[in-house]
A and B are shown apart, each in its own frame.
Chain A
Amino acid sequence: MADLVGGARHHLRLYRRLIGAQIRSQLVYRFAFVLDAAAAALITGTEFVAFALVLPRFGGFNGWSLGEVALLYGMAELAFVLMDLVFGGFDAPTISTHVRTGSFDTFLLRPVPLPLQIFGSDFALRRVTRVALAASILAYGVAGAGVDWTAGAVLLLAASVLGMIAFFGGLFVVGGTLTFWTVDSVEAMNVLTYGGRTLISFPMDIYGTWLRRTFTYLIPAAFLSYFPVLHVLGRPLPDGLPRWAAFLPLVIGPLLLAAAFAFWRVGVRRYHGAGS
Chain B
Amino acid sequence: MITVEHLHKTFVTRTGGLLRGTRRTVEAVRDVSFSVARGEVVGYLGPNGAGKSTTIKVLTGLLVPTSGRVDVGGLVPWRDRRRHVARLGAVFGQRTTLWWDLPVRDSLDLLRDVYRVPRERFRQNLAAFTELLDLGPFLGTPARSLSLGQRMRADLAAALLHDPELLFLDEPTVGLDVVAKERIRAFVQHINAERGVTVLLTTHDLTDTERLARRVLIIDHGRLLYDGGLPDLQARFGGARELVVEFESAPTDPAIDGLQLIGAEGPRVTYAFDGAAARPIALVTAHAPVRDIEVREPDVEATIRRIYEDGLLRTDGS
Residues of A within 8 A of B (CB): 10, 13-14, 17-18, 21, 24-25, 28, 101-103, 105-106, 108-113, 182, 272-275
Contacts and interface: CB of A to CB of B under 8 A. Distances in A.
A21 B110 contact: yes
B85 A272 contact: no
Given A109-B90, A182-B18, A274-B11, A24 B102 contact: yes
B97 A109 contact: yes
Contact of B110 (A17, A106, A108, A111): A17
Contacts of A275: 11, 54, 57, 62-63
A112 B11 contact: no
Contact of A105 (B62, B78, B114, B142): B62
Contacts, number: 68
Interface of B: 11-12, 18, 54, 57, 60-64, 78, 81-83, 85-86, 88, 90, 92, 94-95, 97, 99-102, 106, 110, 113-116, 142
Given A111-B114, A272-B63, A102 B94 contact: yes
Given A105-B57, A275-B62, A275-B63, 10 more contacts: A13-B113, A14-B114, A25-B101, A108-B81, A108-B85, A111-B82, A272-B62, A273-B63, A275-B54, A275-B57
Contacts of B97: 106, 109
Contacts of A110: 85, 114-115
17 contacts: A10-B116, A21-B102, A25-B102, A28-B101, A105-B57, A105-B62, A106-B95, A108-B85, A109-B61, A109-B97, A112-B82, A112-B114, A272-B62, A272-B64, A274-B11, A275-B54, A275-B63
Closest 9 CB pairs of A and B: A25-B101, A111-B86, A111-B82, A272-B64, A102-B95, A111-B85, A106-B97, A109-B85, A273-B64
Nearest to A113: B82
B115 A25 contact: no
Contacts of B11: 274-275
A18 B110 contact: yes
A274 B61 CA distance: 13
Given A25-B101, A112-B82, A272-B64, A14 B95 contact: no
A19 B97 CA distance: 17
Contacts of A103: 95
A111 B115 contact: yes
Contact of B92 (A102, A182, A273): A102
A83 to B, nearest CB: 24
A12 to B, nearest CB: 11
- Majority secondary structure of chain A interface residues (helix, strand, loop or mixed): helix
A55 B106 CA distance: 52
A13 B116 CA distance: 11
Contacts of B100: 25
A108 B61 contact: yes
Given A108-B85, A112-B82, A272-B78, A21 B18 contact: no
Nearest to B54: A275
Nearest to B98: A106
A169 to B, nearest CB: 24
Contacts of B106: 21, 24
Contacts of A10: 113, 116
Contact of A21 (B12, B83, B94, B99): B99
Contacts of B102: 21, 24-25
Contacts of A28: 101
Contacts of B82: 111-113
Contacts of B18: 182
Contacts of B114: 14, 110-112
Which of B11, B54, B81, B83 has its CB near the most chain A CB atoms (within 10 A)? B81
Contacts of A25: 99-102, 142
A17 B113 contact: yes
A181 to B, nearest CB: 9
A224 B94 CA distance: 46
**Most chain A CB neighbours (cut-off 10 Å) among B61, B114, B142:** B114
Nearest to B92: A102
A227 B143 CA distance: 50
A17 to B, nearest CB: 6
Nearest to B94: A102
A268 B147 CA distance: 34
A202 B78 CA distance: 48
Contacts of B94: 102
A5 to B, nearest CB: 15
A14 B82 CA distance: 15
Contacts of A113: 82
B229 to A, nearest CB: 30
A272 B85 CA distance: 15
Contact of A14 (B85, B88, B101, B113): B113
Contacts of A112: 82, 114
B132 to A, nearest CB: 23
B95 A111 contact: no
A114 B100 CA distance: 19
A272 B97 CA distance: 19
Nearest to A18: B110
Contacts of B57: 105, 275
Nearest to A181: B18
Contacts of A111: 82-83, 85-86, 114-115
Nearest to B159: A109
